[in-house]
Amino acid sequence: MFWAEIKREFILLFRYPFELVSRMVWNLGFAFLMFFGFGTIAGAGGNSLPGFQEGQMGRLLGLLITYIAINGLSNAAELLDAEVQTGTLEQAALSPPPLVVIVLMRDLASFIEMIIRFALVLALSTAVTGVRFHLDIPAFVLILTLMYLGTEGIGLMLGGAALLYKRIATLSQFAVMLVFGMAILPLDKVPGWMGVFVHHFPFSQALLVLRQVAIDGWPLSRVIQNGAIGSLVLNTAVFLGLGVVTFAWTERVARDWGTLNQY
């Protein structure tokens, strides 16, 4: 089933070459903005997350992780919305696997496509700017994957809400703004419970580990030894687990309410 989702993702990607090129240009443009533009803002703003503080590498990582986090948050709800628009949600829902598994598989397929696209953008960016990065690729991919799965957990909760209430655009926008907020607000100055929440958000957790790997140059073995990866894995497991359980519950309620098939 996962292979079918990957295949479907790439067929649709290459079936619309204009959209593919537009995405690449947008990603590339944003990357250049990060290289040359946001640096000034970051310097002046004194913002919090390491991605926005520490040179080109930091800015690029900030872009990448923000983009992936936003996708993780919004993919499930957007997917359900698209399925409802195309009318294929019912066909998916009357397949043997629970809907949550199908949504998860499709989001993972979308994540893989995104990673490949970003690798291309990174290659193009470095070719044009001449800046070279020294990245521990396996560690980098592992951290991004864990972060994506964690944010996907929150995305599944939003997706569950979409299953029951259909229109949740405001809630989705709020979640996206939350990620943007975390990217530019000084985290150490966020007060009380909000600070605890923000620090335990998969986005923040991943960025802290990523900083150690990509900026401080720690090898994967060291972040495993110091427990940073373990903490990220736990964080991911909690958020993803909560997301899966919530979505499965909303799927059950939707089958009671009859909202699974409403347009």
Partner 1 sequence: MAIAQEQHVVIGASPGAALSVQNVSKVYPARLGRAAMVAVDGIGFDVRRGEILGLLGPNGAGKTTTLKMVAGLLRPTGGRIEVGGVDVARHRARAVRHLGAVLEGNRNLHWKLTVRENLHYFGALKGVSQLRKRSDELIARLELGEHLQKRVGELSRGLQQRVAIAIALINDPHVLLLDEPTLGLDVVAASTFKETVRAIAQAGCGIVLTTHQMEVAQALADRIAIIARGKLAVIDSLDQLMAAHRTPGYEVRVRGAIAHPLQDELAGLGASAFESEGATSRFTLSEGNAAGLYEALAPLHRGGIELIGIQQQEINLEGIYRRILEDRS
Would you tell me which residues interact with partner 1 (CB under 8 A)? 1, 3-4, 7-8, 11-12, 15, 86-88, 90-98, 102, 252, 255-258, 260-261
**Whole-number minimum distance, CB 166 to partner 1, in Å?**
11
Closest to partner 1 by CB, 173 vs 261, is 261
Closest to partner 1 by CB, 96 vs 130, is 96
Q: What is the DSSP string of the chain?
A: -HHHHHHHHHHHHHH-HHHHHHHHHHHHHHHHIIIIIHHHHHHHHT-SSGGGTSHHHHHHHHHHHHHHHHHHHHHHHHHHHHHHHHT-HHHHHTSSS-HHHHHHHHHHHHHHHHHHHHHHHHHHHHHHH-------HHHHHHHHHHHHHHHHHHHHHHHHHHHHHS--HHHHHHHHHHHHHHHHS-GGG--HHHHHHHHHSHHHHHHHHHIIIIIS---HHHHHHTTHHHHHHHHHHHHHHHHHHHHHHHHHHHHHHT-TT--
**Whole-number minimum distance, CB 182 to partner 1, in Å?**
33
**Whole-number minimum distance, CB 27 to partner 1, in Å?**
22
**Whole-number minimum distance, CB 2 to partner 1, in Å?**
9
**Whole-number minimum distance, CB 16 to partner 1, in Å?**
8
Closest to partner 1 by CB, 15 vs 134, is 15
29 in Cβ contact with 67 (< 8 Å): no
Closest to partner 1 by CB, 88 vs 221, is 88
Closest to partner 1 by CB, 90 vs 216, is 90
Closest to partner 1 by CB, 96 vs 192, is 96
**Whole-number minimum distance, CB 15 to partner 1, in Å?**
6
If we measure between CA atoms, which residue out of 146, 145, 185, 229 comes closest to residue 49?
Answer: 185
**Whole-number minimum distance, CB 21 to partner 1, in Å?**
17
172 in Cβ contact with 77 (< 8 Å): yes
Closest to partner 1 by CB, 1 vs 128, is 1
89 in Cβ contact with 260 (< 8 Å): yes
